[in-house]
Chain A
Amino acid sequence: MIDSISGKTPSRKKGWTRREWRYFWLGLVFASPWIIGFLIFTVYPFFSSLYFSLTEYDLFNPPRWVGIDNYKAIMEDRSFYKSITNTLFMAFISVPITLFSSLLIAMLLNFKVRGINYYRTMFYLPAVIPGVASALLWTWMLNPDFGLVNMFLRWVGLPDPAWLLDPRFTKPSLVLMGLWGSGAGALIFLAALQGVPQTYYEAAQVDGANWWHRFWKITVPALSPIILFQLIMGLIGAFQIFTESYILAGGKAGSGSSLGGPGQSLLFYAVNLYQEAFIHLKMGYASALAWILFIIVMLITLLVLKTSKRWVYYGGE
């Protein structure tokens, strides 16, 4: 290895020496398990789904080329727009709320009080529970009659909505469930919080900054790269939301009842995609949906990254 590095400069003009070639191939051989896996499980499905999106394919018969017909049909499909609207609601309402509550929890967990480790564990615990289990748990929490949520609301004299039955409240139900899991994000924030040098705060305090100034001028800028990371991961997660809807809206696939809950209020992008692919057996159409999702997520991510230059501060700069 050392040889190849030191020998690089003199032999550059002539191209690689035989020895360099040999290391090159040897390197490839050692990297091949990953390369082969990448080709088979990532590159091939990637391009074949692009191909399928231009065909009519039902799994059993060979795909039939239809050009961009699938994309055209999607543009006229009401379920597509409904699913986009529902998904954007989650992305732009649920993600920021969850992000904010994570940050809040992280700041609380950053206090040096007795038994803080127990609190930290408690808040992180929901993240350990699998999606299906927590969704089932929440169907009981949100039960209009016996659920804890409504029992509490009645107790304080607030109206008790029919959470999972009323189309206006199904998505807020999911936001609530998301909040419960914000301990996972809090843990990441907490790690970052502990990396913020105390000297900043001390200096600010000497200069007479109150807690709001310290939060807004020190904590938030110091955490901004983490906020960016969590924001992007949250957005991507929001576009893939599936389990909660499938469990809560009673995924009785194939028995004539459609997925997506009351008034299609929980018909998210991934749920619609699943329905088209595995219930209606339209793999080509579903592949086209997947590509549109890919483009949307990429555009939103790029947009966020672009604006982030204005509000994200990296330590080194």
Chain B
Amino acid sequence: MKRKGSIWGLVFVLLLAILSGCGGKKPAGSGSESGEPAGGDAKKEPVELSFWYGWTGTEAAALEKLIQKWNDIRPDIRVKGLSQSDYQKQLTAITGGNPPDIASNFGQDVVPWGERGAMMPLDDYIKKDNVDLGDFVPAALSSSQSDGKTYALPIAMHVSMLFYNKELLEKAGLNGPPETMGQLKEYIAKLSVKENGGKLQRLGLWPGVDAFTFSYAYGGSYYDAENKQVTPDNAGVKAAVEFGKGIWDQFGSKELDRFASGLGQYMSPQNPFFTGKYAMTIDGEWLPTFIKQYAPNLQYGIAPIPYDENNPSLKHPGNVTTSVFYIPKGVKHPDESWKFLKWLTEPEQMAEFTAAIGNLPTRTSLQQHEIYKDVPGFQEFLQYSSSPNLHSFPATSFSAEYMTEFTTQYNAILRGEVGVDEGLKRVKDKIQPLVK
């Protein structure tokens, strides 16, 4: 019996060692990290916040500069930045109970994550500190809001406009950019060049262009919040899909694939728009900066996205996407996290950061700011970003799946694997059951 007891003792010691090995880490780690002050001492230990952001390289450097600025003026709250562009890491950190104190993400992740409880609603703080949400571009802010809750604040936004190659348009005898979708169609036909027995040499516009932007040009909408119906079969959305399909079929998958195979890298002087392989393109506010860098001699113009000629009220449509900051669920110092987040999204900091990385600010009060004076193309884009016809993809808990399925079916429709109506119905059939 005595011997047996000693074995049990051994088991016990072993288990204890394992348990203490597992459990020991956490209190020690979190203790040193948080540095919770013992009392109301005057020499308070600074609170340390970890801040994960998705930018890298020079863009990360611009953000680090801001962090440095904060650390200089607020020694009591030290922020440590970490460039972490894998957003899945944020998920695991939050579910693992050890999240960063502030983090960046894409706007379309906000509501899916927020509604599931991964992000802290900021409304109480916003109310307490009188943050004027009215200053934010509505389409940009709406992607962070759901059911009257604000889960994140957008720091930067992106919107697409129509870029056109002035020389090529002139050569084709076209005066100025197309204004309506009907004109756009004509332009594409005129600007596309085939040689040697139908071999495509130049495209007016790549027909696989994102359907989201054109949906808004036709007054489309993806979700009917009142009736809780997803509406990929909405007339405007369908018109946009049919528009893409129409151009696609002029050339055919085989010819387009062959043509695409000869196109250069996007971020290089061989970008098809820079080399004149595309006469027009739909792209974001960063493109003028790239052009300045890679193709300084390109004669190009920036124009509003064309709209449905039957509906002039849809002038200046666009699809808005955002980058946001949020506070994950389960942070140890939500008050301090908020203070930093609020400071980052204040006009001064937002202007400095967005101008440095060539993104659009989300505050309307910044649209006249002189800091953007020298950013190429920004006058057009800043003006455009106040258009009332800008929309962002409806923020719902299922928007990620919705966008995936829509993109998948849109590509299948373009390639003729499925008809327009059937493809859009497939989207509806798959996504509607997710509506709660």
Contact = CB atoms under 8 A, between A and B. Distances in A.
B158 to A, nearest CB: 11
B11 interface: yes
Contacts of A22: 3-4, 7
Nearest to B8: A25
A255 interface: yes
Per DSSP, chain B at the interface is helix
Interface in B91-107: 91, 94-95, 106
Per DSSP, chain A at the interface is loop
B60 interface: no
A61 B118 CA distance: 9
Interface string B2-37: 011001101100100010000000000000000000
A259 to B, nearest CB: 8
8 contacts: A26-B7, A29-B10, A58-B116, A60-B94, A61-B117, A167-B415, A281-B113, A281-B400
Which bucket holds chain A's interface residue count?
35 or more
Given A254-B87, A264-B408, A144 B4 contact: no
Interface string B394-436: 0000101101110110011001010000000010001000000
A258 B407 contact: yes
Contacts of A264: 408, 411-412
Nearest to A59: B95
B258 A162 contact: yes
A90 to B, nearest CB: 20
A33 to B, nearest CB: 8
B297 interface: no
Contacts of A278: 88, 91
B94 A281 contact: no
Nearest to A279: B400
Contacts, number: 96
B363 interface: no
B403 to A, nearest CB: 4
Given A144-B261, A263-B412, 17 more contacts: A22-B4, A25-B4, A25-B8, A29-B10, A32-B14, A60-B94, A60-B118, A77-B430, A161-B261, A254-B87, A254-B108, A256-B403, A258-B408, A260-B408, A278-B91, A281-B91, A281-B112
Contacts of A167: 415
Nearest to A144: B261
A262 B253 CA distance: 11
Interface in A48-66: 58-61
A92 to B, nearest CB: 23
Interface in A262-316: 262-264, 275, 278-281
A31 to B, nearest CB: 11
B57 interface: no
Contacts of A161: 261
A78 interface: yes
Contacts of A202: none
Interface string A3-33: 0000000000000001001100110010010
B53 to A, nearest CB: 15
Nearest to B319: A256
Given A60-B94, A278-B88, A254 B7 contact: no
B262 interface: yes
Contact of B407 (A59, A256, A280): A256
Contacts of A281: 91, 112-113, 116, 400
Contacts of A18: 4
A86 interface: no
Interface string A134-172: 000000000011000000000000000110011100000
A263 B423 CA distance: 13
Interface in B105-141: 106, 108-109, 112-113, 116-118
A127 B261 CA distance: 29
**Pairs of residues from A and B, 7 with the lowest C-beta to C-beta distance, nearest first:** A162-B261, A144-B261, A256-B403, A258-B404, A60-B116, A60-B117, A166-B257
Contacts of B401: 280
B33 to A, nearest CB: 22
Contact of A25 (B7, B321, B411, B412): B7
B261 A145 contact: yes
A75 interface: no
A29 B7 contact: yes
A18 B7 CA distance: 13
A144 B265 CA distance: 12
B267 interface: no
Nearest to B86: A253
A22 B2 CA distance: 11
B4 A279 contact: no
Contact of A257 (B262, B264, B407): B407
A256 B319 CA distance: 12
B150 to A, nearest CB: 18
A144 B404 contact: no
Contacts of B398: 280
A263 B417 contact: yes
Contacts of B95: 59-60
Contacts of A145: 261-262, 264
A168 to B, nearest CB: 9
B329 interface: yes
B260 interface: yes
Interface in A203-228: none
A240 interface: no
A162 B260 contact: yes
B405 to A, nearest CB: 8
A29 B14 contact: yes
Contacts of A262: 411
Contacts of A25: 4, 7-8, 11
Contacts of A79: 408
B88 A263 contact: no
B329 A60 contact: yes
Nearest to A58: B116
B393 interface: yes
Nearest to A78: B426
Interface in B126-182: none
A303 to B, nearest CB: 31
A29 B9 CA distance: 11
A36 interface: yes
A162 B263 CA distance: 11
B6 to A, nearest CB: 10
A79 B405 CA distance: 9
